Structure 1
Amino acid sequence: MLYRIEGHNGVFEKIDPVEFKDFSSFGKLEKDLENLIAQNILDVLFEDAKLMPIFQERQWQSEADIYALNETGELVIFELKRASAGDGAVQQALRYAQDSGQWTYQKIERKYQEYSDSKISLVDAHREAFSLEHKLEPKEINKKQHLVIIGSAADDSLISAVDYWKKSGVSIEFLPYRVYELGGEKYFEFFAPPYDRHKNPSDVKGVLFDTNRSWDEESIWSMMENGRLEAYGEAKRFVTHVHIGDIVFFSHKGYGIIAAAKVKGEVKAPDEYTLYRDVEFLTPRLSRGMPLKAMPFAKVAEFTEKSFYWARTIKVPYLNKSEALDLIGELKNYL
């Protein structure tokens, strides 16, 4: 809940709750909420969560809104409600969970490949995403289902229904959202477990950022020669998720971490496919023709004592400033 602080002569005296709304208040559809969540679920709303999205709801299909796998291959099902939905929404979501619990590995793989336009198997993609020593057996995929319902914080009947099934032993969670309209601007408030823990955007963070080698083998040289952090195509939005002062580690597929730099520039768009920020390198800058030296990904995980989700442009979890500075020191030993 958001409260307005009122006071007198510099003394805080009172707090008043601020009116909130839901998506239907602005004429928005559930698909708008779904797209908003889907596009931000990993890098903003669940910044430290390791989830591998495998597909979204298709039009005219009886499916939940978003499906993802966790590290152990269990299915996480997201059902989104833009306005008051009542307990019937939970019954619908439970049917989705029941149906998906009976899906074969082959069916899930077909859905994943249609959604991602990927030609590699789901278990191979899962192993790469979570940097597992061994890929899971197909029979280990979808052994358990977890249901997450995202809805308006004012929907009491929906909350009560979720609580009932949770007490009955069903793996189900309710995540509330609120929309505020303040000074002509709209604000989205979201509560992600545990304890709604998010890093303060004003804090310096360390980010492992992919060089987009799969997009273009030459992209790394554009970054090195121009002193930039770049991203392209659908991944270009990730450039907006780092800020001035953040420390970025250039993650080069097949090698490891090859450089570190401090973000110093605002977001720029040289064309419709690219976004970039200027950076100041904190380690030696690579040049064409030089051998590519790198700190292997396994060593990065070992040194930071973190298990990263590798299958995205920004690798989560983030590092705090102290962790990032320590990693720079270790990276210099490799470079």
Structure 2
Amino acid sequence: MLFYLDDSNKKQLNSVKRINLASINWREKDLEDLIAHNISKIVSESSLMTIFQERKGKEEPDIMALDRSGSLYLFELKRWKSDKENLLQVLRYGQIFGQSDYNVLNDLYNKHGKKGKELIDDHKEYFNLGKDEEIRKEDFNKKQHFLIITDGTDTETRQAINYWKTTGLWIDAIIYRVYETLNGGKLIEFNTYSPEEDVIEFEEGCYILNTNTKNTQEDDKDMIQNKKAAAYYDPWKTKINKIQKGDKVFLYRNATGIVAMGKGSGIVKKKNYHNLHTEVNEEYYTELEEFMILKTPLKPDEIKQITGVNYRFMSTMFGVGQENGNKIWEYIIKNSI
């Protein structure tokens, strides 16, 4: 997440406006070309050599690449957030190309515009392999790695990725974010998905925040009365930094359900927890605009029915994705609950 630094007010964070590629007339092909030409800057595990890009009308991955050991990387790119169909698609490519031998890869390499070139020679040159590091033709494509590159991931995709990882399949999602600066400049940020990280690191602007009634009723009451989203102490309080202007936030009360909702103001503030001088800046909060208290709490089973996802409400704050967040928001508005 990006913020502006304000020299006139060094205690304030202002969010950089988040946009998407479609809004600036970028096509999926533009994103594909960008990644193909900068692949080693985006995939941190190792430098990669692009050997092939998708041909229109063909059942092929957007990008194929090799690492220095000859392992094959298959990429599926989307301008929008991923879903389970993207995952199935990239696995389908693994089924098609996972058994391809060197000759097939060399043929694809030549179709990618390297006519007359020998893949094994260019691979050696690209990775500057010494005599003792050279690989044989039969060493190519012994392993496959699957990568989805997209503007956000949904819960089902994350769960599927985690499942396939437990089976030994090397699969991940790389999340990108596009931002616009005050002077109209464009920024793009890439983050590699990791199940060890909190899932909201890569979520799309819709969050469920626990009001902390398990510890005290005062925090719940404070959030409702002061129309804000808050979290307390490290590492939980810093989760509030994820909420950008316009992001939808649902306040969830333990054993009850969603009791209120609003939209982020884009400004994160700090204060002493319960105004105690010994608890300096242990509360991070952001005021919520378009704040609404629900007449009837939206229960967990109703949330599951609306979204199709059985969320676990154990975390301080977690992302539900833009699509499901919009479903919850619209359901509440439509039914005036």
TM-score under structure 2 length normalisation: 0.51
1:99-150 alpha-carbon deviations (Å, 9 max, x no partner) = 1112122111111122142424222222222223154222111011011111
1:39 partnered with 2:40:
no
User: SS state of the match for residue 162, structure 2?
Assistant: helix
Q: Identical aligned pairs, as a percentage?
A: 37
Residue 123 of structure 1 aligns to a residue whose secondary structure is helix
Which position in structure 1 is the counterpart of 2:187?
187
Q: Which has the larger radius of gyration?
A: 2
1:104 to 86, 101, 105: 101
Contact 2:74 2:147 in 1 (8 A): yes
Q: What SS does the aligned partner of 1:20 have?
A: strand
Q: Distance in 1 between matches of 2:29 and 2:163?
A: 27
Alignment of 1:143-182 (within 5 A): 143-153=142-152, 155-182=154-181
107, 121, 124: which is aligned to 1:127? 124
Q: 1:160 to 1:48 in 2, by over 3 A?
A: closer
Query: After superposition, what is the alpha-carbon deviation per residue over 1:160-199, rounded to whole angstroms, capped at 9, x for unaligned?
Result: 43333223421012111001122222211123599xxxxx
Structure 1 residue 11: Cα displacement: 5.2
Which 5+ residue runs of structure 2 have no aligned equivalent? 195-337
Taking a change above 3 Å as real, the CA distance of residues 160 and 152 of structure 1, as seen in their structure-2 partners, is farther
Aligned-partner residue type, residue 166 of structure 2 = K
Where does residue 24 of structure 1 map in the other structure?
A: 22
Matches within 5 A, 1:194-209: none
The one-letter amino acid paired with 1:57 is E
In angstroms, what is the RMSD of aligned CA positions? 2.8
Take 1:22 and 1:149, find their aligned partners in 2: how far apart are those partners?
17
Counterpart of 2:78 in structure 1: which amino acid? K
Q: Is the 8 A contact 1:83 1:155 kept in 2?
A: no
Higher mean Cα deviation, 64-73 or 128-137?
128-137
In the superposition, the TM-score normalised over structure 1's length comes to 0.51
Letter in 2 for 1:54: I
Matches of 2:141 and 2:45 in 1, distance apart?
Answer: 22
Cα distance in 1 for residues equivalent to 2:43 and 2:89: 24
1:79: Cα distance to partner?
1.4
Aligned to 1:232: none
SS of residue paired to 1:13 = coil
Alignment equivalent of 2:111, drawn from 100, 111, 114? 114
How do 1:30-69 residues align onto structure 2 when only pairs under 5 Å count? 30-42=28-40, 44-45=41-42, 49-69=46-66
SS state at 2:38 partner: helix
- DSSP 3-state at the match of 2:81: coil
Matched with 1:76 is 73
User: Where does the alignment leave 5 or more consecutive residues of structure 1 unmatched?
Assistant: 195-335
What amino acid does structure 2 have at the position aligned with 1:105? Y
Report the counterpart of residue 91 of structure 2 in structure 1: 94
**What one-letter code is carried by the residue in structure 2 that aligns with 1:174?**
A
| Residues 132/68 of structure 1: CA separation in 2 closer, same or farther (3 Å cut) | farther
Distance 1:180 1:168 in 2: 36
Q: Per-residue deviation at 1:72?
A: 0.8
Q: Quick one: which amino acid aligns to residue 91 of structure 1? A: L
Equivalent pair of 2:48/2:65 in contact (CA under 8 Å): yes
Classify 1:85/1:153 alpha carbon distance in 2 versus 1 (closer, same or farther; 3 Å). closer
Task: Give the SS at the match of 2:73.
Answer: strand
Aligned letter for 1:106?
Answer: N
C-alpha change, 1:60 and 1:80, in structure 2 (3 Å) is same
3-state DSSP of counterpart to 2:89: helix
Contact 1:162 1:172 in 2 (8 A): yes
Indicate the SS of the match to 1:107: helix
User: How far apart, in 2, do the equivalents of 1:17 and 1:39 lie?
Assistant: 29
Separation of aligned partners in 2, 1:37 and 1:73: 19
| 2: CA distance, partners of 1:24 / 1:163 | 29
- Any idea what the Cα deviations from partners look like across 1:197-228, whole Å, max 9, x if unmatched? xxxxxxxxxxxxxxxxxxxxxxxxxxxxxxxx
Residues 74 and 142 of structure 1 are in contact (CA less than 8 Å); yes or no, is this contact kept in structure 2? yes
Aligned partners of 1:46 and 1:104: how far apart in 2?
24
CA positional deviation for 1:20? 1.6
Cα–Cα, structure 1 residues 158 and 16, in superposed 2: closer, same or farther, change >3 Å?
farther
**Count of aligned positions:** 192
Distance 2:187 2:18 in 1: 10
Structure 2 CA distance for aligned equivalents of residues 50 and 77 of structure 1: 14
How much has 1:95 moved relative to structure 2? 0.8
Report the CA distance shift for 1:159/1:26 in structure 2 as closer, same or farther (over 3 A).
Answer: farther
Q: Quick one: distance in 2 between partners of 1:4 and 1:160?
A: 33
Contact kept in structure 2, 1:54 and 1:116, CA below 8 Å: no
